[in-house]
Amino acid sequence: MTDIKSKDQNPFFSLEEIDSEREVKWRETLRLFCANRPALFGFLFIIVFIFVGIFGSILVPADPFEMVAVPLTSPGVGTLFGSDYLGRDVFVGIVHGTKATMIIATTATLVTVFIGITVGALAGYYGGIIDNILMRITEFFQVLPPLVFAMVIVAVFSSDILVVILAIAVTTWTTEARLTRAEFLKIKEQDYVTASRAIGDRDRRIIARIILPNAMPPIIIAITLRVGITIIYEAALSFLGLTDPDIITWGKMIGQSRDYFFDAWWTVTFPGVAILLIVLCIALIGDGLNDALNPKLRGR
């Protein structure tokens, strides 16, 4: 009865204390995350993928574009995962494709999230006419089917890797924008934001230092899941041949084997399993974060 539980409501609660409270919360989150077996497994597996991405071309120095075997050799001793229609080693392709997949996925995610958070934060914080305009723009981008729009962008401009990354970002940022806006709308009504405004903090500081850190938990989950979606998305574009011709990616390996996979299941199965595995691990991490950040909603 006597213990004060009104920290959330007390407007004079100092910001430092909120900061340290947040730190404690993060530590608790980390503990919860590590206690979650599947999430930890996903995380360790991702580290393996990153390792392969960085050192793969050193460990398996063969050229993925080089013909090393009889076309469509089945998996076996010489070619672990078999060879494709040009006699290229599928295993070497997968190892080398890891790097491209990871680089494209992370950069595209960063750009997507940057656009999304910026738009969402501005709309949510300022409200009114700015919110209205930004949300109409968001709505506009939402009605364009992402993959089709990205295909059009790549077709109109070029299949340069930068264009591909931008195309992915431009067509998908709306989810993050909506989420960030919703969080900002919620948090800007909190008393510590009012307090910060009352002591004369400037908008930029309030947005970046006060609201954003508090809005982070759901955004972090969204970013994690976004990485997975981007990997699949990039694979789809590569599958359709809309990617840099000099780079090997898993999606491209599947796309190029489209006419041959009835005779050689391995040419599409293994690259697909690679995609499935990495995205599955990301999903496990996302789930783990979700549980760790919202312990109350566990199991949903």
Residues of this chain that interact with other proteins (CB under 8 A) are 1-3, 139-140, 142-149, 151-157, 225, 228-229, 232, 235-236, 239-242, 251, 254, 258, 261-262, 265, 268-269, 271-272, 275-276, 279-280, 282-284, 287, 297, 299-300
Please name the residue ranges forming H helices in 143-190. 146-156, 161-172, 174-187
Residue closer to other proteins (CB basis): 97 or 271: 271
User: Least distance to other proteins from the beta carbon of 60, Å?
Assistant: 23
Q: Is the CB of 196 or the CB of 224 nearer to other proteins?
A: 224
Residue with smaller CB distance to other proteins, 103 or 182: 182
Question: What tokens appear for 230 in the block?
Answer: 């981007």
In whole angstroms, the minimum distance from the beta carbon of 15 to other proteins comes to 28
Q: Among residues 79 and 138, whose Cβ is nearest to other proteins?
A: 138
Q: Are 214 and 22 in contact (CB under 8 A)?
A: yes
- Nearest distance, CB of residue 109 and other proteins, angstroms: 15
CB of 143 to other proteins, least distance (A): 4
Tell me the two tokens of residue 109: 């995610």
Q: Is 88 helix (H, G, I), strand (E, B) or coil?
A: strand
| Cβ-based nearer residue to other proteins, 153 or 193 | 153
Distance CA 45, CA 40 (A): 9
Residues 6+ positions from 130 with CB-CB distance below 8 Å: 122, 123
Torsion of CA 27, 5, 209, 127, to 10 degrees: 130
Q: How far is the CB of 90 from other proteins (least distance, A)?
A: 14
Query: What gap in Å lies between CA 274 and CA 98, rounded to an integer?
Result: 9
- Gyration radius (Cα) of the chain, Å: 23
